[in-house]
């Protein structure tokens, strides 16, 4: 088991280091996507089942995820909100928290997907640790909710260089990535630079907090 | 070649994050909600730093060390993210619709928020 943990750690760190190196030569390629593709390729080539790989390294990386969540407090505390127009910013945050739940759930309803799948889409725009908590409160399947959160984060991070290529505003790019693609989008925003990273962390955290506040209450009221 | 990493600041920043997170998880474990530990840790550190910032500005060494940590934070998501592709296969006939919903509900808001933010923040 100890050997599996060591090999899993080396594999993961190697994939991350290679992706960071590739990111220096090709800055438009999202580091998260390159590194996860590298992990998947190495696992496939070495015929190491994903379940066994995750069993070896999962606990360590769940701890790391927790530290990253807590570390987001530092860029948030460093933000100077005095210079920002608070009224339009509040309007954008309100639109984002509502759209984050209503748009995917509305589409799932239109396509006649099952109720558990529809509920799992409620937390699509929220970062994983908050999404799991909300999913438990609204009785949505937590595993499917996590999958949707992670994949939509990857989609946002992977295609953001293309979608935001003519934006020329790192604050707007960061905020959009944090609001629409949460933690993985925030990681991608940090690759763009500290300004985009801080705004992404702000957008992700506030969106998560707002959604954690209204969504379980709305479900509770609708069930009454 | 001389390294330009401020190791003291980096170690102290990591130490601060680890202590706050582990304390929050321990505290929430005591009240039977261990799963809220990370969020409580985030709020506790944010509250602490905002109170500190009220009296003294935050150290640039702390902010630089944190920027370095955040740049490497992709590593923490790697094993879970790699598993997302594997889990997709279990969705059965709903898979194409789920993928379509994820694409539209992520990319449309991303584009819209960026345009709104550019117009409204300037």
Is residue A44 in some structural domain? yes
Give the mean model confidence (pLDDT) for residues A3-8: 94
17-46 in A: which are within 8 Å (CB) of B? 19-20, 31-32, 35-36, 39-40, 43
Give the mean model confidence (pLDDT) for residues A84-104: 92
Per-residue CA distances from A173 to A64, A96, A130, A149, A204 (Å):
26, 14, 23, 19, 13
ipTM value greater than 0.90? no
* A114-172 pLDDT tens trace: 998 999 999 999 887 678 778 878 888 877 888 898 889 989 998 999 999 889 899 99
**Higher-confidence position of A131 and A29:** A131
Q: Classify residue A201 by its DSSP letter.
A: H
Mutate one of B12, B35, B78 to test the A interface: name it (highest A CB count within 10 A).
Answer: B78
Whether A67 and A90 map to the same domain: the answer is: no
Total domains, chain A: 2
Give the mean model confidence (pLDDT) for residues A75-98: 86
Whether A67 and A89 map to the same domain: the answer is: no
* A52-70 pLDDT tens trace: 998 999 889 888 888 988 8
**CB contact A50 to B (< 8 Å):** yes
* Residues belonging to chain B: 122
Is residue A77 in some structural domain? no
* A156-213 pLDDT tens trace: 998 999 999 889 899 999 999 999 998 889 888 988 888 898 899 889 888 987 898 7
Where among A71, A104, A132 does a domain terminate?
A71
Whether A13 and A112 map to the same domain: the answer is: no
What is the residue-wise DSSP string for A48-97? Answer: --HHHHHHHHHHHHHHHHHHHHHHTHHHHHH--GGGS-HHHHHHHHHHHH
**Higher-confidence position of A220 and A181:** A181
pTM above 0.80, yes or no: no
CB distance A205 to A78 below 8 Å: no
pLDDT of B84: 73
Which residues on chain B are in Cβ contact (under 8 Å) with A107? 100-101, 104-105
Q: Helix (H, G, I), strand (E, B), or coil: what is residue A174?
A: helix
Whether A222 and A115 map to the same domain: the answer is: yes
Whether A98 and A206 map to the same domain: the answer is: yes
CB distance B49 to A73 below 8 Å: yes
Per-residue CA distances from A195 to A80, A128, A173, A175 (Å):
12, 23, 9, 10
Whether A142 and A65 map to the same domain: the answer is: no
Where among A71, A91, A126 does a domain terminate?
A71
Is residue A76 in some structural domain? no
Q: Is B27 buried (19+), middle (13-18) or exposed (0-12) by CB count in 10 A?
A: middle
Which domain range does residue A187 map to? Answer: 82-224
Where among A38, A71, A104 does a domain terminate?
A71
- Min distance A89 CA to chain B CA atoms (Å): 7
Task: Return the ∠ at Cα B106 (arms to B105 and B111), rounded to 5°.
Answer: 105
Q: Which residues contact A11 (CB under 8 A, 6 or more apart)?
A: A39, A42, A43, A53
Which residues on chain A are in Cβ contact (under 8 Å) with B98? 113, 117, 148
pLDDT of A42: 93
Is residue A143 in some structural domain? yes
pLDDT beneath 50: ranges in chain B: 1
Whether A122 and A64 map to the same domain: the answer is: no
A12–B75 C-beta distance less than 8 A: yes
B43–A71 C-beta distance less than 8 A: no
Query: In the block, which residue shows the tokens 């261990």?
Result: B34
Whether A63 and A113 map to the same domain: the answer is: no
Is residue A121 in some structural domain? yes
A152–B106 C-beta distance less than 8 A: yes
């Amino acid at each position: 088991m100890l050997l599996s943990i060591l090999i899993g750690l080396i594999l993961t760190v190697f994939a991350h280091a290679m992706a960071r190196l590739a990111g220096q030569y090709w800055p438009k390629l999202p580091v998260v996507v390159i590194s996860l593709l590298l992990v998947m390729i190495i696992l496939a080539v070495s015929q190491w089942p994903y379940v066994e790989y995750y069993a070896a390294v999962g606990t360590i990386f769940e701890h790391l995820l927790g530290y990253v969540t807590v570390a987001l407090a530092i860029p948030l505390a460093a933000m100077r909100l005095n210079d920002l127009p608070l009224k339009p910013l509040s309007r954008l945050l309100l639109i984002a928290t509502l759209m984050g739940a209503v748009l995917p759930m509305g589409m799932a309803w239109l396509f006649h997907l099952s109720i558990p799948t529809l509920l799992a889409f409620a937390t699509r725009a929220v970062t994983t640790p908050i999404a799991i908590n909300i999913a438990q409160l609204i009785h949505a399947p937590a595993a499917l909710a996590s999958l949707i959160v992670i994949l939509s984060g990857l989609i946002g991070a992977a295609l953001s260089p293309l979608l935001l290529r003519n934006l020329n505003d790192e604050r707007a790019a960061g905020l959009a990535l944090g609001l629409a693609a949460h933690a993985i989008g925030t990681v991608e925003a940090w690759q763009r630079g500290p300004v985009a990273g801080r705004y992404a962390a702000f957008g992700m955290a506030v969106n998560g907090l707002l959604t954690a506040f209204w969504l379980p209450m709305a479900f509770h009221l609708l069930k009454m | 070649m001389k390294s330009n990493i401020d190791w003291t600041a980096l170690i102290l920043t990591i130490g601060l994050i680890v202590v706050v997170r582990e304390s929050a998880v321990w505290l929430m474990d005591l009240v039977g909600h261990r799963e809220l530990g990370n969020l409580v840790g985030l709020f506790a550190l944010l509250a602490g730093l905002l109170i500190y910032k009220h009296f003294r500005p935050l150290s640039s060494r702390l902010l630089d060390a944190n920027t370095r940590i955040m740049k490497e934070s992709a590593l923490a998501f790697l094993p879970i993210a790699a598993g997302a592709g594997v889990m997709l296969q279990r969705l059965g006939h709903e898979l194409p619709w789920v993928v379509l919903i994820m694409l539209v509900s992520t990319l449309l808001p991303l584009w819209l928020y960026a345009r709104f933010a550019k117009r409204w923040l300037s």
